Amino acid sequence: QQQVKQSPQSLIVQKGGISIINCAYENTAFDYFPWYQQFPGKGPALLIAIRPDVSEKKEGRFTISFNKSAKQFSLHIMDSQPGDSATYFCAALQPGAGSYQLTFGKGTKLSVIP
C-alpha cells in the first residue's frame, strides 16, 4: 500500500512559470511533511518542510500548501529556473515503535526549459 502518492511523474515548465507538484497521504499519524530535491548523481537534500498545524510555508520561491482535511499537500515553485531542474520527492514522517520513519513519494522529475 502506497502511503504517499505523488503526482505528476514528470513535469515540463517554461522558465519563469510556476511548477506545482502534488502529494496525498492516508495515514493521519503523519506529523511532518518534508520535500527533498535531488540533482542527477547526487543524494536527496531537504528543500522545505511543514507541520500539519500550518496551512502554508514559504521559503523564497518555494511554497508548501497543506490541506489537513483533504490529506493533501503540494509544492509550488514560483518563477521556475533551469537550475530548478531536478527530481522532487515529497515525504511524510510518522512515529513508530521506538523511532520515526520517513515514507517517500515516488518522485517528480521537473524540467525547466529556457
Partner 1 sequence: NAGVTQTPKFQVLKTGQSMTLQCAQDMNHEYMSWYRQDPGMGLRLIHYSVGAGITDQGEVPNGYNVSRSTTEDFPLRLLSAAPSQTSVYFCASSRTSADTQYFGPGTRLTVL
**Residues interacting with partner 1, by CB under 8 A?**
6, 9, 32, 34, 41-46, 49, 89, 93, 95, 98-102, 104-107
Q: Closest distance between partner 1 and the C-beta of residue 12, in Å? A: 17
Q: Closest distance between partner 1 and the C-beta of residue 33, in Å? A: 12
**Contact yes or no for 52/31 (Cβ under 8 A):** yes
What number of residues does the chain have? 114
Nearer to partner 1, 17 or 31 (CB): 31
C-alpha–C-alpha distance, residues 105 and 99, integer Å: 20
Residue 84: phi, psi to the nearest 5? -85, -10
Q: Closest distance between partner 1 and the C-beta of residue 56, in Å? A: 20
